[in-house]
């Protein structure tokens, strides 16, 4: 079925849609009348969360937490990380300038991932931290949002209860576990861009002690960015995943849950859009001698007009077409197995053991400058037949002879062991809850990793430049001991019932170590190459070892938490807390690009440390018979040693790469979530956040010279970047939703309408450069409207029918920018746009216990 056929179906269903909408709009009146006759008061929906490693009502947890039910995930069309944008206060999700859409990094309260560093917001699946890439800020693979019990986003430092130390927060994906009831569900979606989604789960109770749940998903969709050179779509989807959960209860006091998961994804890569080359500024293409400002007829393909013509062609193509010099792709393979054993040693004490083994392999090829030229190609490939293009603005043919496909390696190839032993208990008639434990995390390379890159290839020699080679590997070993306890002062006096004190402490020991080797074919000596680490020539046959350098960093730091909360009434919770956490430093494998591999100070970068102060209120009120939920939190964060990655350039080796800097800042913010249910089946709500992040100190030594907050700084001088807006922070994020449900007469089912509008204000994506030096670094504000209309339990059956649309008004908006335009960078501007309007039909069948 093609897209045009889907449109006919949608037109044919206009009467049904109008009728459903009209009935839904009448729901408040009907619901109000029924409410007057009903003895049951309207109440707020509740989600049971595990933020404290125990099952609790979300409103009773003194933590800033956003919990989303599986039904709401479906209504909002949340299938992957990027879909969460603006659904959670203070959360920004995006590729962060990286060459793959699969890299969706979480930045929460101004804290997130940095290139080559561990994540600031860790994603957990079944209490296990997912593997995280080194070259991409990617955690795990696709399929993790299927068949969830709920999803929870915890804001602020984590560590005294959770496995990995994090400064920004944690995202908990809680899969549905097997139950003792047979049942399951299957769902199919068809939509524009030939969208074909199929998901399902089946629950199989084997006997009273053993139950199994099997989950599967397949997603396939055409891309929305057309590559006119390769005649294929970029930004497509093609992945499948599976998960098996086995719940075993050999005795009444022992519960064992084993989860096995796996996923495979391969698509045509991100549809980067070219916007310009840095030609005439100091340090630009002309200044470096890579082109000349003379007419094409005088110097042929060496003319700078070739670059200008290339940009003009890209502008003519617009935001949904591109022209690559290499056939890009992105490939992710992940699998893992985890086991959780709970043993009730007594009525008050439970022993828990959580162990996992996971693998992740990521490969990708991308065209950084997004043109037929080779200003920046990673693992370049040959053109399709006939294999010849012409240089823009000329009639000079270009044939690509520098394919590196035969030597292509995975960019990330990792395996991860985790082990967590935990003891949970209660004392003093349940007024003292405590948890102590130990955590071990070991992530290492599981094979060779590397890349081939063509950089700064003059237009006239496009297709002929030899790609540099690099191999690398980074290992992270983390060990921790932790404990946390909460005392309800009712244990001391009944008058103090509801007043609780929480204290937690963790000591973490981290060891990060790695190696890197990189060499360029720039040596004038036959049979030799030039090492990136020291700019010395070595025989090509021994370059992998001769150009290798290593680095190691050991750090240890405490994390702690002190909090006080008070239940003013059964539905009003006040809390305040002070918490501190840290995130380990890292190994800078790109130091080899700058001739700095012999300097120990450049091989590693320092840890981050965060101290956060937070106060908040969680409340449920009634205005007459109408329930109102209002949650608010305010925080102030002292942020030291912020890891910031920036592009760089070595003029001696004409090589580009990245390095990581450290800075200090303070972040203040406020977050609000509220909802009201004026009638049964009707909910109106939303969230709002304001994040005010300012650098206190951000100095760095510029190797090439820079225009900074303290003016122009020559090469080797100290530049000040403290006046910059914070990276990957949208100061204002808000969303508004309306949900309405209307039961139909004669048990014919329920109509459900959900509409959500979310807004993200502008955000700066550049780490170091002033906006004037980095075109496109500030992403424009954007708002997205999504709608879902469902008929549940059609005619009293197990079928649900639905229509859905995301980005309903087809907003064109940017979600990422390359940020390498500046002198000393890679001298181009490319950007990435968000998804266009997506719409379609879905059919779901639920049987048994679901």
Positions in the chain short of pLDDT 50: 1-39, 594-598, 649-657
Tell me the pLDDT tens digit for each residue of 535-571. 899 999 999 999 998 999 999 999 999 999 999 998 9
Q: What is the per-residue pLDDT for 100?
A: 82
Domains by residue range for the chain, with CATH: 3-271+328-367+412-448+467-848 (2.40.170.20)
Q: Are 646 and 661 in contact (CB under 8 A)?
A: yes
The secondary element (H helix, E strand) that includes residue 755 is: strand 750-760
Query: DSSP 3-state assignment of 690?
Result: strand
Q: What is the per-residue pLDDT for 693?
A: 96
**Pairing between β-strand 169-175 and β-strand 828-833 as defined by DSSP bridges:** unpaired
The secondary element (H helix, E strand) that includes residue 12 is: helix 3-12
Query: DSSP 3-state assignment of 24?
Result: helix
Q: What is the per-residue pLDDT for 381?
A: 74
Q: What is the per-residue pLDDT for 564?
A: 97
Angle at 184 between CA 180 and CA 186, to 5 degrees: 170
Q: What is the per-residue pLDDT for 40?
A: 57
Nearest Cα neighbor of 383 from 454, 459, 462, 457 is: 462
- How many angstroms separate the CA atoms of 843 and 828, rounded? 45
Nearest Cα neighbor of 768 from 645, 605, 590 is: 645
Q: What is the per-residue pLDDT for 21?
A: 39
Q: What is the per-residue pLDDT for 626?
A: 93
- How many angstroms separate the CA atoms of 801 and 803, rounded? 7
Cβ-based burial of 232 (10 A; exposed 0-12, middle 13-18, buried ≥19): middle
């Amino acid at each position: 079925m093609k897209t045009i056929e889907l449109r006919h179906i949608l037109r044919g269903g206009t009467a049904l849609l109008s009728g459903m909408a009209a009935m839904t709009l009448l729901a408040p009146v009907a619901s109000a009348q029924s409410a007057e006759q009903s003895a049951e008061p309207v109440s707020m929906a509740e989600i049971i969360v595990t933020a404290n490693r125990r099952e609790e009502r979300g409103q009773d947890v003194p933590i800033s937490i956003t919990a989303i039910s599986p039904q709401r995930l479906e209504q909002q069309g949340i299938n992957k990380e990027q879909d969460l944008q603006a659904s959670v206060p203070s959360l920004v999700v995006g590729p962060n300038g990286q060459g793959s859409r699969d890299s969706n990094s979480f930045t929460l309260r101004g804290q997130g991932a940095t290139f080559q560093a561990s994540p600031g917001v860790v994603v957990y699946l079944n209490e296990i931290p997912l593997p995280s890439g080194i070259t991409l800020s990617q955690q795990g693979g696709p399929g993790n949002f299927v068949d969830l019990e709920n999803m929870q986003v915890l804001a602020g430092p984590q560590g005294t209860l959770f496995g990995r130390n994090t400064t920004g927060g944690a995202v908990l994906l809680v899969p549905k576990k097997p139950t003792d009831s047979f049942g399951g569900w299957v769902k199919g979606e068809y939509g524009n861009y030939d969208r074909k989604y199929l998901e399902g789960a089946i629950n199989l109770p084997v006997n009273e002690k053993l139950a199994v749940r099997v989950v599967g998903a397949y997603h396939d969709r055409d891309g929305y960015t057309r590559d006119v050179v390769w005649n294929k779509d970029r930004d497509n989807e093609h992945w499948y995943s599976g998960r098996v959960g086995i719940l075993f209860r050999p005795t009444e006091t022992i519960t064992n849950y084993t989860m096995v998961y796996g996923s495979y994804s391969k698509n045509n890569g991100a549809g980067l859009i070219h916007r310009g080359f840095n030609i005439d500024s100091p340090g630009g293409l002309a200044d470096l001698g890579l082109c000349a400002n003379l007419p094409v007829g005088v110097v042929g393909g060496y003319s700078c007009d070739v670059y200008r013509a290339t940009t003009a062609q890209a502008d003519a193509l617009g935001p949904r077409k591109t022209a690559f010099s290499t056939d890009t792709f992105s490939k992710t393979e992940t699998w893992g197995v985890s086991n959780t054993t709970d043993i009730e040693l007594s009525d008050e004490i439970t022993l828990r053991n959580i162990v996992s083994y996971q693998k992740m392999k990521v490969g990708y090829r991308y065209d950084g400058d997004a043109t037929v030229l080779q200003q920046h190609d990673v693992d370049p490939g040959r053109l399709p037949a006939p294999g010849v293009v012409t240089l823009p603005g000329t009639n000079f043919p270009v044939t690509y002879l520098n394919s590196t496909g035969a030597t292509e390696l995975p960019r990330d190839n990792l395996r991860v062991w985790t082990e967590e032993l935990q003891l949970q208990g209660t004392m003093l008639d349940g007024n003292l809850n405590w948890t102590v434990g130990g955590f071990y995390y070991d992530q290492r390379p599981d094979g060779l990793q590397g890349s081939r890159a063509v950089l700064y290839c003059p237009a006239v020699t496009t297709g002929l430049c030899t790609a540099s080679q690099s191999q690398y590997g980074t290992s992270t070993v983390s060990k921790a001991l932790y404990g946390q306890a909460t005392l309800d002062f009712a244990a001391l006096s009944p008058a103090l019932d509801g007043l609780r004190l929480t204290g937690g402490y963790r000591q973490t020991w981290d060891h990060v170590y790695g190696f890197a080797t990189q060499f360029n074919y720039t040596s004038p000596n036959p049979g030799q190459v030039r090492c990136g680490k020291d700019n010395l020539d070595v025989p090509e046959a021994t370059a992998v070892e001769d150009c290798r350098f290593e680095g190691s960093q050991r750090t240890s730091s405490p994390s702690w938490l002190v909090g006080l909360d008070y239940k003013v009434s059964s539905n009003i919770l006040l809390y305040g807390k002070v918490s501190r956490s840290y995130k380990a430093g890292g190994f800078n494998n790109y130091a080899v690009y700058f001739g700095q591999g012999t300097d120990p100070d450049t091989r590693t970068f320092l840890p981050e440390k965060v101290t956060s102060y937070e106060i908040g209120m969680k409340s449920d009120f009634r205005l007459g018979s109408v329930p109102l939920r209002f949650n608010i939190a305010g925080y102030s964060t002292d942020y030291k040693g912020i890891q910031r990655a920036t592009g760089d350039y070595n003029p001696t080796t004409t090589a580009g790469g990245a390095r990581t800097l450290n800075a200090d800042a303070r972040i203040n913010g406020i977050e609000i979530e509220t909802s009201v249910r004026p009638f049964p089946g009707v909910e109106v709500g939303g969230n709002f956040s304001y994040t005010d992040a300012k650098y206190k100190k951000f100095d760095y030594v510029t190797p090439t010279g820079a225009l900074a907050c303290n003016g122009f700084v020559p090469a080797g001088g100290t530049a000040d970047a403290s006046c910059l807006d914070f990276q990957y922070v949208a100061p204002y994020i808000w969303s508004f939703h309306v949900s309405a449900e209307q039961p139909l007469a004669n048990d014919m089912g329920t109509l459900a309408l959900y509409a959500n509008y979310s807004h993200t204000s502008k955000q700066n994506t550049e780490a170091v450069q002033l906006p004037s030096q980095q075109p496109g670094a500030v992403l424009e504000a954007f708002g997205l409207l999504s709608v879902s209309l469902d008929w549940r339990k059609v005619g009293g059956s197990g079928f649900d029918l639905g229509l859905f649309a995301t980005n309903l008004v087809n907003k064109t908006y940017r979600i990422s920018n390359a940020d390498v335009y500046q002198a000393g960078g890679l001298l181009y501007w490319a950007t990435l746009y968000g998804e266009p309007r997506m719409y379609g039909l879905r059919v779901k069948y639920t049987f048994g216990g679901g």
